[in-house]
Structure 1
Amino acid sequence: MDNSPSGSGGVRGASRHLRSALRGITGGRPEGMEVDVDGARARGGHRRNAARSGGPLDQAGRRSKETPYTKPTSTKSLSSRITGINPNASSSSANKGKPKGKRDTRDDMLRDNRRSDRLMQEQHTKLGDLLKGDELKAWLQSKLIAPGVVDMSNLPGDPWLIEKGLLPPGHKDAPLNAGAVFWKLIANNLETPHQRIHTLALANNNLSNLAQLSKLPGILPYIRALDLSGNPIHKADELKHLQSVGEAKGKASFGAGSLKNLVELKLVDVRFRTELIAQPGGMEKYQHDVLRRFPGLLVLDGVPLNRIVFPLERKPIVWRTAEDRKPFAARPFTFPFDVKPSFEENEAVHAVVMAFCQKFYTLFDANRAELFYGYREDATISISPNTLPSRSWQAAEVTATRNMRPAPVSFEPWTSLPGRNFFRSCTTIEQRTATLKSPMDKDELLRWWNTRVPRTEHPLTDASKWCIDAWYFDDNQDRISAIIQGEFKELPSSTWRSFTRTFILGAPSPDSPAAAHNWPCVILSDMMVVHSYLGTRSWDEKSSLASGDVAIVPPSVPSASGAFPPMVAGDEAQRAPLIEAVRQRTGMNLSYSRLCLEENGWDVDRAVANFEEIRGNIPPDAFN
């Protein structure tokens, strides 16, 4: 039998020593024996001998000649001597040795969670009791100060909430879903399909953050004006709670959970606003940050913003039941016009734009330095990439052209340009300004064109690859708006890209550089968007809308003199039965029936069909 330490006997011997040490810990050790915890982690043989003999060892492993090691008089357990914590002590004693301000985090979290659950349950119970009566509804009605306008300001001091013990959003003890509950109560009790809540005041509600407003856009999506004045909101990033997930990540498209109708926002006396505008240039930074999050704003803090706004009429939402929609589904679908390759307002516009395109794109491909003379001195130039491909194009062509397409090439040459995407690449005023180039700095413009913007090759000899829409920009007919869509080959990679380029063109003055270099017009604005390759199917001969049950039915229009068709031009006797037929089929009075026929070329069927489409928008006096 091998008695060496490395043999099995040595292992069994070590096990016996370990069991002896364990018995000592549990109270079975002989008098005068103590376990040296540090020694147990060091040189095992010498330490075990020292522990067995009751004498300590020095650093060299020799027995000390000093007073033999004796058992301490303390009755603390081993665990208390290792950790310094007495398990039998009270919590205040346990925390006595901790640094000031330190707390038992786990116990505090459990205690806070229990308190929050209790408060939430109490609030739900109170709301449930109040919802059974009319008192809560009457209080909500008192907050509706005008049709579609709700004033929920100063809720912490509201006498009725204090009397009922309800905690409003912004209260430090309010449940996390208090905001969602209040917005839902407003939607359920104050909104109707014909009267949406469009203005909401939440001033002076002690909102240090806007987490309680995260459900507001989804519950009250038609809000156009929002007042958050007087709240101690500590940073501008809290405004992300009023954006959809995509908007908060920098995407430009609206989605569920966004206030896409918001045009007025008030943040007077809000903490982050006060701190920001106190800095040099703070007001511009503040306005830029807010507009970056809500690009549709027209009024900020009660001050109209200096912005270029195109007047768009929003049609009211028409709510129809399933029964109301059945006649529309049964009726064949028609379009007034088919898809056309291009649109020019008249021959004069067509001639100017075609001459301009021939000169501009030839120089853009071959000699960009000569383009400089085609711009007015105060013109603006910008290029922005759109890296998202068309899903419809992918669905139609991905299978047929998979083996013919070259390997994809990175968009990096275009994304590295200072683009106009204010959600992703432009986060400061300086970056926003850098997106615009100007002929006033000729050297910088030429350097940018020749070194940063990739070289291109446009199919100038193939008219089917181009779609040009052009019309007069104003009534004076001295400016033309031209939207040009097409494709080009990016060099040197030979990758095909699609593009959309919008020009505002004006007549050149006789002494201008544009006239001296034979430009047919001068460029006032040049805005280019580069896409992934999309093809030409949106305007070529394959894109007709007439297919299956879909037909193209051009509308009837008056003659050049403004008169109606000869059948009803001057014979009131011929019009009377048509008016009566529309009146019987629609229920409208004679004046509205006549108006409906006039707007639809005195075609009874078309007038009735148009009536069905706009039934929800017709005023009640049409049926008197």
Structure 2
Amino acid sequence: MPKRGGGRGRNWRVENHFEHDDRVHSNNIRRVSFKPGTSKGKNKFRMWNSDPSKIFDDDIDMGATGNVGQRLNIRPFGRGGRLNSPAPKMSHGGPRRKFTPGLLPWYQITIPYGAKHEKDLLLRALLGYISPDIFIPHYYKNIGNAAVFYVDDVKIAEKLFNADRKIVMPDGFKLLVIVKNMVPKINIDTEMKEKMKLTMAKRYNAATKALDLTKFHADPDLSEVFCALFRPVIMLAAVDIIAENIPDLEALNLNDNKLHGLAHLKQLSMKLKCLKILYMGDNKIPFLSSLEPLQSLPLVELYLKGNPLVNRFQDHDIYVSDVRKKFPKLTRLDGIDLPPAIGFDVTDNVALPPYQQSFLVDPQGQDLVREFLTQYYAIYDSESRQQLLDAYHEHASISMAANYLITDNRNVASVRLNAYIPNSRNILRVTDREPRRRYLRTGRLQVVSFLSDLPKTKHDLMGFAVDLLVFTPTLIVLTMGGIFTETVTAGNPKRSFHRTFIIVPNTNGGFSIMNDLLFITNTTKEQDDRAHTSVLPVDRTSTQTALAVPAVPSTSTAPDEIQKAQLIATISQTTGMNQHWSLNCLQETDWDLQRALFIFNQLQSEGKIPAEAFIK
């Protein structure tokens, strides 16, 4: 039965064959053991490398100089060692064996009695058999009469495994080839660190501050020591050497080093803070999450091609996106320049534009916005919304969506959105075509009927954030967000809303709403604290003032009775004053609503408006 990694159970030990070739003696017999109490079925045994985490995370003594071949208890016939079972088929004097790749990227190759042949003769024989493939015999040495070396390629290890007893030497002897999944013994001492340091020095480019450690273990200057960077203890020693001698390193190439686990590489971000370019291609990194220990590095270029993690992505765009989530400053990935990232990652010395409550794509639309908001919400917050029929196009449509905040406690009556949820057209929840069609109201009659069924409200116009996104002779797109209070609902709950109007010209020379998108949710604590507390700034020329406090432009002609009633209703619902004080305020300012609101805010901030002005 083959051992893990292609190793074979042979009763052969290096130390037993130091003197001469003893291959034809009659006592060369396989040992058989029938252990009592063994469970039926497969022969079960544990190996040191059954836990892959120990292979890559801990530095394990692999015992390269001893126990090259281990004894196995071989059952002679049948499954589970049953007697009187049919004998297995034999091939080349023994049972057929199959190579099994191991968990480690290194394999020990042992040639029993190989020391009697010259090294070059032995290697030429092996290379000739696996031609055209070639391999590098790492750490070749003779141990007794055996020749031992290592290879770092699973395909080469399999070909050498299959070469067992198939290569005939000049003396007529067929080479025995034993392959075991094993790494050489390592010992990080001062001498080894000095060799690593000298090897790194010749690979360092001072002009570009770049260090090339590609296939570091195969460097000719390290042929006598095992220096594979996939072993954490060796990688950490290399990081310490770099941090001590070139702490300002900006580019590091770790290609083709059989890297797997990277948890220990968290030291890179702490010791090499200037590292911006990192190449890790042609390794064995299995998952993108394996790169998390490197996330704190300010990388602008990363190379991962040739790792299993890349093949896990069928869509290249998703691969690029997921990598950039971990390294948002990347401008180059796998040798390809990336498009600029969309984000707000700016340096500390860059001044951000000032906060602006509202935005006008065209200042000429300012008067239209003021007039529209004043007239629309004066009617919307009145006792009857039927007058909104004139505001909507004949083929207008409205869509409303409502949703709870994550922090909402729905057991509280004031938080429940019962008046909105049943008619919500949230397309993330409403997936069927028929409900989606039913919740989309079309035609001015359906639109106004739907709005009339919603709870009565009072909007905080001074707290509006208004954006005029499109302003052309044929199309206007207006969005706004703010807070309103339900005036007839128990507890007068406050709601947050966002609304988008798409407005087109009508045949009467005015404008009509073609599409109305409304979203409603509950207010946050910050919104509750700011609700109905906005005060008009003194600067009346600012864009923010013009939009935050809607008003109709003053005219030279006196308003008629209908217009006066509308102005009184507007200032009353905007300021909270009763109709008597609202009428007085407008009369004293010659029915100029914008001036009246300005004076109100100024007097209110000074505390000069009596409490009876707000008693209704």
Q: TM-score, normalised by structure 2?
A: 0.38
Answer 1 or 2: which has greater helix percent. Answer: 1
